[in-house]
Structure 1
Amino acid sequence: MTARPDALGALLPQWHRLRDAEAGEPLRALLAVIGEQLDRVREGVEQDYEDWFVETAAPWVLPYLGDLVGYRPLPGYERVLATGLGAPGADSRARLAEALAPRADVAATVASRRRKGTPALLEELSDRVADWPARAVELSRLLGHTQPVRLYGTGSPAADARRLTRGRTADLRKSAELDLAGGPFGTLGRTVDVRRADSRHRQGGWTPAGVGLFVWRLRPYSLRTSPAYCVDRARNLYTFSILGNDSPLVTKPVPEPSATHQATVDNVPAYITRRQLADRPADYYGPGRSFVIRRDGEDLPVPPSDIVVADLSEWRYRARRGQVVVDPELGRIAFGSRTAPRQGVWVDYHYAFAADMGGGEYPRERATPPEAAVYRVGPGRPYQRIMDAYRDWQRDRRAGGTGPDGVIEITHSGAYQEQLDFDLDPGDRLEVRAAEGTRPVIRLLDWYSNRPDALNVRGVQGDCDPRELPRLVLDGLLVTGRGVNVTGPLASVVIRHCTLVPGWSLEPECAPHSPEEPSIVLDRTSACLQVEHSILGTIEVIGDEVATEPAAIQLSDSILDATGHHREALSAPDCRLAHAVLHVRRTTVIGEVHVHAVESAENSLFTGRLRVARRQRGCLDHCYVAPGSRTPRRHRCLPDPAGAIRPVFASERYGTPQYGRLADACPEPIRRGAADGAELGAFHDLFQPQREDSLRARLAQYTPAGADAGIFFVT
């Protein structure tokens, strides 16, 4: 109906309205229908005016506006969007039109063509099309060649100055320039280099007429007020990472001042080198910058005058009295005798990773039930320990003071060293989560000598309605030291945006401390395990194969890491078949899987053998399965019958920036093996192949005339 049903009726004389009311208001109903049509005509006329402008035009108009200004749709979007649009309809067509002609891209077409060939535009295209920070380099300006002396003085002074600055030789007194040599910010001259733009030998390279676009695919993630890890208390040695592993620091990018500005090392998430930090400490250290060090609970950071940059490899460098030595390339700290901390060290820093996965301070979607009781844990909060908040919720729940929903929210990115035992009654729904912008760490230590020290989740024994079985949610946490043990009757255990450190903890070089220990043990429980956007180690299932139904395990957008391709990522003890049914979506599994059945697996990657008992049940759709696997029916899965195609990872060790990512040298059928052309595994939703293709298409349109453009992946 119209928003103004009586608008026309109000224009009639009062005598007609009275007569109409006596007759049951048939005239009022007729005028309401006519008014609705008038409103639609009015809205159509107003929208016709709005469709003249790209900022307010309807989505279906965008391709037509783009055609007027010569806009070319990006390749491959038809197939990507069609797979997720569902049934055809007006909404589907509108979303498809918006995707084929993005509003911002169409609006910038004319301005971009005016700036064609400029390095700043190429960097802007990378950010706008692929969402990758970039640095464009005119390689011809770095080409070393013999300077023609006879040309000096024949042209303008500006031309002579350009000749003098082209292809300069190295000045050994300027360590900062030497540190940047060969990279995107290097200014030293070089001879012709026949390297190509990437490992797949595509267009571009270090040629005299080439333009190199250096892009950063890893994102910077922040950690604030995080405790540093003490490696050696006697010598005052620490690491930025709470796990004690080496973690290189990255720059917190600074926004560029204008659209014509060319990116510098401060505008991209680049790794901080020792020389750069030593030459420009004020640009990296301090509140609001790349990293900060605080000691003994002080609000003020360590003074910049006390910071000394040094190589702390193997901890050979000894800090002198009053010094705070920092190694940004390894993420290590060493204190001198006068500045030695007595009450702990806290750090703010940025690390690099590929996506929002595992425990982190990045924004997460979360909803709190309106009737849930929230118990906050952290400094300045009513509770300082997680178990204290849990006991109060349990007491209030049994006393009838609160409903079945309870939320324990940790408001601080600190380390909580306590034994966690959650005993849940029928009807309980408990959520233990990190507050927005925090990443708390739960360190499960060796508390008891006569029983396991895992994070125990137990359902209270007793017959009850299956709809009243308790539920537990872990959200945004990093668990180290031990794993999670689930027993008893439970409806579900949900682990989302969490990290259960594979191998329990890490060595300095990111090697797992206990590679064969499980991260989750399902011990004779009815719980459905749901893992979303998380990183975890081995899952071990202990169940009664005769008296109980198989447990349900659902993995999506996660990494299941057994720390080795030939170790068991999911199985029962002694490498037997786990009494469970597996559902996998967009997941990377490093290790072998021995399971009762696989109900569904799509766009996933299994590096070890997959052994299934019930082969007639379920299906694998667009997956990679290691040769020698025993699986249900497969639909467009890899590898080929010869087994020549194998995945290649940039890193398989948790704690490194490139962890879990497919290498650029990985075979194309795996990099583009998903149903929509994206890569297989946990980073499917980054759509990196599509972003790369889109960027190459735009570079071909806006590259300077007569020049070749190539993409160089820095990270």
Structure 2
Amino acid sequence: MSTVPLFERLPEIYRTRDAEVTPPNQLRAYLAAVEGPFGALHEHIAQLYEDLFIDTCDDWVIPYLADLLGTTHLKGDPRTLRADVADTIALRRRKGTLGAIERLAVNLTGWACRSVELRENLAWSQHLNHQRPDAGGEPSYGAPTLTRFDVPRGGTAPIRDPAALALLGTPFDPFAYTADVKPAQGDARTINLPNLAIFLWRLAAYRLPRVRPLAKGLIDLGAQPAGLARFALRFDLHPLDIPVRLFNTSRPGFLRAETSGGIVSPLTEADAVPGPILDARLTSHTPAGHPEAYVQVDFYNAGVAPPTGFDLGDVGLQLFIPQTLAALLVPPAPFPQWHWQFRGDNLCAWETGLRRPLRIGEIVIDPDIGRILVGMETAAQAAELMVLDNGTLVSRLFTSFTYGAAGPVGAHPVTRHFPALDPMVELRRVGEVSGGMTLQAALDGLADATAPVVIEIHDSLVHRIDVSLLPDTAVDGTVSLRLAHSLTIRAAGEHRPIVLLAQPLSLRPVVAGDATPFVPQVQLQGLYIAPDEAAPFPAGQALIDRAAVARLEIIGCTLAPGGHSLRNGDRAPMQPALRLVDGYGFSAQADIDAFVPTPDIVIQRSITGSLAVDPRYRLDIQDSIVDAGLGFDDAPTGLFAIAAATDPSNNWAAALDFAGLTCFGPVRVAAVGGLGGIFTQRFEVLDNQRGCIKWSAFSSDADRLPPNHFCVHAPDARIVFTSERFNDPGYAQLQRESDRRVRELGPDDDAMGAFGFLLEAHKWTNLHVRLQEFMPVGVRPLVVPVS
């Protein structure tokens, strides 16, 4: 709609007569031509007012507002620059306080922060005539809050409290140390009088809103003494039986308290940072245990469709239990009312039993591998949480849990904004929460669709696809989705649905000759795609093995590459992502000749397994990870990250364009052009006389490269990842010990690899610039990354 609808503002008499003339609507057409520039002028004038305020101004105005405040200019993410200018006056007023340093760091980086004066961690001996117990009160230790588990400055560590000992070596370490007089170097925590440590949590915490955990077993323990549970219910939080490291949510917040100085910002607390949950902090009834900061139990109403009561709290792990269980919960004697108890423990070998007995109403959590164990007293209580359906255990317990990742690469529950759909587009809603159809049903009838189809998934549950069960999919000697128009399958809202495939996904038009260079197009967005082991998925086959379409876009998806850590420490097998052959999968030569497009395979901000793509395609990869399971130190195994689908060792894959790519494995392509790549194994290009690669890192293993500029080569440039295994919190994250050229001299003067778009080098530099301005005389800032 036009900003200034001139025609609609005319009196009704003129609009009526305009419709009656021949040809009709001449005045409407004339004013429509004027509305465009007039509306643009109107919007520009309105924006001039918005540009007076840092919260609403355009990005280009930020440095001009900074000049008015005398704020030095920085570079990087506009959001951080805007926050820096917005808080300039507030931070100057509070200069020299820990709260100001923390807020400054959060503004400039977007990461959670904790500032610690390391002199407080120095051991010291109190003078008997001038005692200063940290807990306050009159000597000796007269404060009523001081217990034998508190840690007075310079005192002895309370070894009887695991929850307090869990803080050892963390930014919240309360224990005393001797002074470290060596010069502070790198990112180390050097305890000395002038040192101020600024701890940063770089990993992002992503929270899944509603997940059905995997029911692993209901065990009848037999008759038990009073207070102990008879039934033990086992759940894996990840629906695919994959270990997941549980994180807490970040709750920095600002406490508004009326003081003489105005609003006070409390310092970051130990149990409110987006880091891995510590086992001991989860345990109830311990002096330093704080389970309410990590886990919460709520009830949902399963008697309505869709179920209700899934309101999210602030904690990292939330358990949703059917309301029908509440009536069956009888308080165990001698407790007057029912209450849940929590315990952090090791559940890796839960089949052999626990180290301590399971109590009634006790929930044991293993945050290291994402398992929970629930103790119930009666069979009726247990049946409310886990039921047997057609011989398969099904969980009636739902959870919301938080995990960590280096950034929004792959499928994550992030906010998504979609443009308004064209009225001609057919929208199909999928999801148990929204009361929609199943994904299997939504894929039916694509061959008869009269308009492009958009399938939106409105939950984070598991959705299974078996294309062979859909009518008219048996074609070309296999099963394929036959598309009359373009198709989009996307995650709606802040969801991360899991799509399990019974067989590789295969795409083709209804009639090969109907395809044009522009249609049909297929877009997958925000999906976690993996093989369905219950089907079972054919071993060794790629997740997508046919793309006879004009364009295949994979945006913000995870095509599970495998290679994740198992609970015994071993590595899972790798899973190929794409295998696209010449001929596009058509069995008849006439169809091959009639198929006009050269398919574009576009991968953006996604995680995939190996890509096997023959030359008659175009491959474009941006800000993504391609994982064949081979790092810098791994010996070649014959597997390729990117290569031809047909005889990969001797043929060449499709031409590759990339911008921001982390590739774990060898690459062998016909031609290439791009920037910002990290390649851990041999990189070979057939046509090395054309194209160009800039700001990238290579393994130096007999690479065959086109012209390249501003590139680095291992081992001259050391590159270290926090983890090279999929599903680990620090997967593909560059460590700070990596070569500076890789961390800071990539595209846009920032990092190479898939996460360069996060502009972390700019954040790091901006923080150091501001710290030089905000540090009191004699204080030495130490910026220490925690994750």
Instruction: Specify the TM-score bucket, using the shorter chain as the normaliser.
Output: 0.7 to 0.9
Q: CA deviation at 1:655?
A: 0.8
Mapping of residues 297-312 of structure 1, within 5 Å? 305=340, 307-312=342-347
Instruction: Calculate the TM-score normalised by the size of structure 1.
Output: 0.79
Q: 2:416 aligns with which of 335, 342, 364?
A: 364
Using the alignment, how far apart are the partners of 2:67 and 2:630 within structure 1? 52
**Residue 324 of structure 1 pairs with residue 374 of structure 2:** no
Query: Against the structure 1 CA distance between its residues 581 and 220, is the aligned structure 2 distance closer, same or farther, given a 3 Å change threshold?
Result: same
Q: Is the 8 A contact 1:459 1:487 kept in 2?
A: no
User: CA RMSD, aligned part only?
Assistant: 3.6
Q: CA deviation at 1:537?
A: 0.3
**Residue 347 of structure 1 pairs with residue 326 of structure 2:** no
Q: 1:639 aligns with which of 693, 713, 723?
A: 713
Q: Is the 8 A contact 1:198 1:711 kept in 2?
A: no
Query: Against the structure 1 CA distance between its residues 321 and 394, is the aligned structure 2 distance closer, same or farther, given a 3 Å change threshold?
Result: farther
Q: 1:507 aligns with which of 566, 573, 579?
A: 566
Q: CA deviation at 1:378?
A: 1.9
Q: Deviations over 1:651-697 (max 9, x none)?
A: 00011100010112111111123132211000001111111111111
Q: Deviations over 1:391-433 (max 9, x none)?
A: 14444x2xxxx42x10111112111233136745575100111
**Residue 256 of structure 1 pairs with residue 254 of structure 2:** yes
Using the alignment, how far apart are the partners of 1:119 and 1:229 within structure 2? 44
Using the alignment, how far apart are the partners of 1:326 and 1:351 within structure 2? 15
Using the alignment, how far apart are the partners of 2:463 and 2:684 within structure 1? 39
Q: CA deviation at 1:62?
A: 6.3
Q: Is the 8 A contact 2:664 2:680 kept in 1?
A: yes
Q: CA deviation at 1:647?
A: 1.8
Q: Is the 8 A contact 1:596 1:613 kept in 2?
A: yes
Q: Give the corresponding residue for 1:454.
A: 504
Q: CA deviation at 1:139?
A: 1.0
Q: CA deviation at 1:389?
A: 1.4
Range that drifts further, 279-288 or 586-595? 279-288
Q: CA deviation at 1:534?
A: 0.6
Mapping of residues 673-692 of structure 1, within 5 Å? 673-692=745-764
Q: 2:295 aligns with which of 254, 261, 285?
A: 285
**Residue 585 of structure 1 pairs with residue 659 of structure 2:** yes
**Residue 612 of structure 1 pairs with residue 647 of structure 2:** no
Q: Is the 8 A contact 1:325 1:335 kept in 2?
A: yes
Using the alignment, how far apart are the partners of 1:355 and 1:320 within structure 2? 38
Mapping of residues 552-591 of structure 1, within 5 Å? 552-565=618-631, 566=636, 567-572=639-644, 573-591=647-665
Q: Is the 8 A contact 2:187 2:784 kept in 1?
A: no
Q: CA deviation at 1:321?
A: 6.8
Range that drifts further, 531-540 or 64-73? 64-73
**Residue 420 of structure 1 pairs with residue 472 of structure 2:** no
Q: Deviations over 1:577-634 (max 9, x none)?
A: 3341111111111100111111x11111111111111112211111112211111111
Query: Against the structure 1 CA distance between its residues 532 and 305, is the aligned structure 2 distance closer, same or farther, given a 3 Å change threshold?
Result: same
Q: Is the 8 A contact 1:244 1:507 kept in 2?
A: no
Range that drifts further, 424-433 or 554-563? 424-433
Q: 1:179 aligns with which of 147, 163, 166?
A: 166
- The letter for the 2-side match of 1:167 is G
Q: Give the corresponding residue for 2:610.
A: 538
Q: 2:203 aligns with which of 186, 207, 218?
A: 218
Query: Against the structure 1 CA distance between its residues 570 and 187, is the aligned structure 2 distance closer, same or farther, given a 3 Å change threshold?
Result: same
Query: Against the structure 1 CA distance between its residues 670 and 379, is the aligned structure 2 distance closer, same or farther, given a 3 Å change threshold?
Result: same
- The letter for the 2-side match of 1:656 is D
Q: Is the 8 A contact 2:343 2:364 kept in 1?
A: yes
Structure 2: unaligned runs, 5 residues or longer: 7-37, 143-150, 220-231, 257-263, 284-288, 299-312, 330-337, 388-393, 474-479, 532-536, 585-597
Q: Give the corresponding residue for 1:713.
A: 785
Tell me the secondary structure at the aligned position of residue 211 of structure 2: strand
Using the alignment, how far apart are the partners of 1:507 and 1:132 within structure 2? 29
Query: Against the structure 1 CA distance between its residues 115 and 168, is the aligned structure 2 distance closer, same or farther, given a 3 Å change threshold?
Result: farther
**Residue 622 of structure 1 pairs with residue 695 of structure 2:** yes
Query: Against the structure 1 CA distance between its residues 161 and 698, is the aligned structure 2 distance closer, same or farther, given a 3 Å change threshold?
Result: farther
Q: 1:379 aligns with which of 421, 424, 432?
A: 432
Using the alignment, how far apart are the partners of 2:401 and 2:493 within structure 1? 17
Instruction: Calculate the TM-score normalised by the size of structure 2.
Output: 0.72
Q: CA deviation at 1:176?
A: 2.8
Q: Give the corresponding residue for 2:735.
A: 663
- The letter for the 1-side match of 2:245 is P
- The letter for the 2-side match of 1:431 is T
Q: CA deviation at 1:299?
A: 9.5
Structure with bigger helix share is 1
**Residue 602 of structure 1 pairs with residue 647 of structure 2:** no
Q: Give the corresponding residue for 2:576.
A: 518
Query: Against the structure 1 CA distance between its residues 240 and 690, is the aligned structure 2 distance closer, same or farther, given a 3 Å change threshold?
Result: same
- The letter for the 1-side match of 2:693 is L
Q: Give the corresponding residue for 2:101.
A: 122
- The letter for the 1-side match of 2:410 is G
Q: Deviations over 1:105-152 (max 9, x none)?
A: 345333322311111011000011121210111111121012122335
Q: CA deviation at 1:443?
A: 1.9
Query: Against the structure 1 CA distance between its residues 646 and 406, is the aligned structure 2 distance closer, same or farther, given a 3 Å change threshold?
Result: same
Mapping of residues 59-138 of structure 1, within 5 Å? 66=66, 69-74=69-74, 77=75, 102=81, 104-138=83-117
Q: Deviations over 1:238-258 (max 9, x none)?
A: 322223222221112222324
Q: Is the 8 A contact 1:491 1:527 kept in 2?
A: yes
Using the alignment, how far apart are the partners of 2:249 and 2:688 within structure 1? 50
Using the alignment, how far apart are the partners of 1:280 and 1:292 within structure 2? 15
Query: Against the structure 1 CA distance between its residues 686 and 324, is the aligned structure 2 distance closer, same or farther, given a 3 Å change threshold?
Result: same
Query: Against the structure 1 CA distance between its residues 133 and 556, is the aligned structure 2 distance closer, same or farther, given a 3 Å change threshold?
Result: same
Tell me the secondary structure at the aligned position of residue 645 of structure 1: coil
Q: Deviations over 1:326-364 (max 9, x none)?
A: 112331123447536223142211111121121121113
- The letter for the 1-side match of 2:367 is P
Q: Give the corresponding residue for 2:494.
A: 437
Q: Give the corresponding residue for 2:275.
A: 270
Structure 1: unaligned runs, 5 residues or longer: 6-35, 82-97, 446-452, 544-548
Range that drifts further, 617-626 or 168-177? 168-177
Q: Is the 8 A contact 1:214 1:712 kept in 2?
A: yes
Q: Give the corresponding residue for 2:441.
A: 388
Using the alignment, how far apart are the partners of 2:756 and 2:207 within structure 1? 23
- The letter for the 2-side match of 1:493 is L
- The letter for the 1-side match of 2:364 is V
Q: Is the 8 A contact 1:576 1:594 kept in 2?
A: no
Using the alignment, how far apart are the partners of 1:521 and 1:300 within structure 2? 51
**Residue 464 of structure 1 pairs with residue 514 of structure 2:** yes
Q: Give the corresponding residue for 2:22.
A: none
- The letter for the 2-side match of 1:576 is N
Range that drifts further, 605-614 or 142-151? 142-151
Q: Is the 8 A contact 2:576 2:609 kept in 1?
A: yes
Query: Against the structure 1 CA distance between its residues 225 and 381, is the aligned structure 2 distance closer, same or farther, given a 3 Å change threshold?
Result: closer
Using the alignment, how far apart are the partners of 1:362 and 1:50 within structure 2? 28
Q: Is the 8 A contact 1:480 1:504 kept in 2?
A: no
Using the alignment, how far apart are the partners of 1:242 and 1:660 within structure 2? 23
- The letter for the 2-side match of 1:558 is S
Q: Deviations over 1:266-313 (max 9, x none)?
A: 332122111111122222222512212346797989986154432213
- The letter for the 2-side match of 1:620 is I
Using the alignment, how far apart are the partners of 1:522 and 1:195 within structure 2? 57
